[in-house]
Chain A
């Protein structure tokens, strides 16, 4: 199980970096617990973009109402894992 979540975390970080054109960070160095809003500075439009890409990739449905919960890469990854397990 930890391996699976780590794989998702890495992929979420990749998507985040690619879609938001983040600099000075790699998927491996992206701290999964950093607050995306407070510390990375992403906004709702950024999060929506990432959510659309992740929805496609994992074949899940991300609910708009769940955005406030998706504040770190780890939370997003756990959210995806839970959806995959449903």
Chain B
């Protein structure tokens, strides 16, 4: 019923005039229980780290090979990484995201990070297995079926190779990135992953700065993605980790920055509190630059709908979602999804909100 509603229809259906007290919202025992469940993780303070400039494939539209960071000189000394992560812990970082270009190329560096900060995630293409001793969440990128992966990523038989490495691995979450071109392939890919007992979440292709290729979304492709995501979520409620609010937030015609005012340093001048204060994005030479710091540098902010960005930016806007029960439930679903995707051992609950809800003010 709601699958193809556009942003304006969702807004007009979900507007609320009553001013609610937070304590009234928490009177619902399901809401209260979920709130108590997620708030235990408010101690998470993230930073991200490019581990190496190397990758074993080249994907069209890869953010890593845009901008300056690809020209860094890799620091391959595990002791240097250990020292960095220890210093990160001392300044309050409790969660690390190991990303570009391909962390599985440098498992000894990932291991050094894990030994210092045990909570985190690794973004990988899944073609090389990351040792089990590294107990981070493993996010395996999927960009369509094998034919599309061959064309866009230059890799053969990708899904089966990813499956060989990560089937049955409790760390693994497959991240299906919807581009403008692969929307209809999601059905067969998610079915394949579900059949093999794998967990899936969704991402939206967000264009790197200067990219104007065929993967870039349009308003129509975002709406098509919206209905596809919703259908998959309903069809595979146990293996697809997503919520109605995730769908709306990431397929909205406005970017995450427009909707939520991105709190990463690159777009946030305030250094007082939150991500603007603590977040850093390190290059593989262990340097960082505040002006470039966000979860996926060199993304065009006006087109940013990254799952990683949303996980931080939507979550950080708790205050404005605590305006009425419906919006707060939607936010709780979003945070519950984010924690299941990013934190080892966190169990996703059943979504509280069974309909799309508009982002506050939109």
28 CB contacts below 8 A, A to B, read: A37-B273, A37-B277, A42-B273, A43-B42, A43-B43, A43-B45, A43-B273, A43-B274, A44-B263, A44-B273, A44-B275, A44-B316, A45-B42, A45-B274, A45-B318, A46-B42, A47-B273, A48-B318, A49-B39, A51-B319, A55-B21, A56-B21, A56-B22, A64-B317, A64-B320, A67-B272, A68-B273, A71-B273
- Other-chain contact of B272, A52, A53, A68 (Cβ < 8 Å): A68
Q: Does A41 contact B (CB under 8 A)?
A: yes
Let me know if A41 and B92 touch, CB within 8 A. Answer: yes
Let me know if B274 and A64 touch, CB within 8 A. Answer: no
**B residues 317-352 touching A (CB-CB < 8 Å):** 317-320, 322
Contacts of A37 in B (CB 8 A): 272-273, 277
Give me the interface of B with A, judged by CB distance under 8 Å: 21-23, 39, 42-43, 45, 92, 263, 270, 272-275, 277-278, 315-320, 322
Closest chain A residue, CB of each to CB of B261: A64
- Other-chain contact of A56, B23, B270, B278 (Cβ < 8 Å): B23
| Cα A50 to Cα B42 with chains together (Å) | 13
Q: Beyond A53-B23, A68-B272, A71-B272, list 14 extra A-B contacts (CB 8 Å).
A: A37-B272, A37-B277, A43-B45, A44-B275, A45-B42, A45-B274, A45-B316, A48-B318, A51-B319, A52-B22, A52-B322, A55-B21, A67-B273, A71-B273
Give me the interface of A with B, judged by CB distance under 8 Å: 37, 41-49, 51-53, 55-56, 64, 67-68, 71
Known: A49-B39, A52-B319, A64-B319. A44 touches B22 (CB 8 A): no
Q: For the complex formed, measure the closest distance between the CB of A39 and the CB atoms of chain B, giving whole angstroms.
A: 12
Q: For the complex formed, measure the closest distance between the CB of B38 and the CB atoms of chain A, giving whole angstroms.
A: 10
Contacts of B316 in A (CB 8 A): 44-45
Let me know if B42 and A55 touch, CB within 8 A. Answer: no
| Cα A47 to Cα B318 with chains together (Å) | 10
Q: For the complex formed, measure the closest distance between the CB of A62 and the CB atoms of chain B, giving whole angstroms.
A: 8
Closest chain A residue, CB of each to CB of B271: A68
Contacts of B322 in A (CB 8 A): 48, 52
| Cα A45 to Cα B274 with chains together (Å) | 8
Known: A51-B319, A52-B322. A44 touches B274 (CB 8 A): yes
A to B contact number (C-beta, < 8 Å): 51
Q: For the complex formed, measure the closest distance between the CB of A12 and the CB atoms of chain B, giving whole angstroms.
A: 16
Task: Indicate the member of B273, B278, B317 with the most A CB atoms within 10 Å.
Answer: B273
| Cα A47 to Cα B161 with chains together (Å) | 45
| Cα A45 to Cα B322 with chains together (Å) | 12
| Cα A32 to Cα B45 with chains together (Å) | 25
Contacts of B278 in A (CB 8 A): 43
Contacts of A68 in B (CB 8 A): 270, 272-273
Q: For the complex formed, measure the closest distance between the CB of B277 and the CB atoms of chain A, giving whole angstroms.
A: 7
Q: For the complex formed, measure the closest distance between the CB of A36 and the CB atoms of chain B, giving whole angstroms.
A: 9
7 closest A-B pairs (Cβ-Cβ)? A44-B274, A68-B272, A52-B22, A45-B42, A48-B319, A56-B21, A44-B273
Closest chain B residue, CB of each to CB of A48: B319
| Cα A37 to Cα B22 with chains together (Å) | 24
Contacts of A42 in B (CB 8 A): 273
| Cα A69 to Cα B218 with chains together (Å) | 40
Closest chain B residue, CB of each to CB of A54: B22
Closest chain A residue, CB of each to CB of B21: A56
| Cα A46 to Cα B315 with chains together (Å) | 12
Contacts of A53 in B (CB 8 A): 22-23
| Cα A36 to Cα B317 with chains together (Å) | 20
Known: A44-B316, A64-B319. A55 touches B273 (CB 8 A): no
Contacts of A67 in B (CB 8 A): 272-273
Closest chain B residue, CB of each to CB of A51: B319
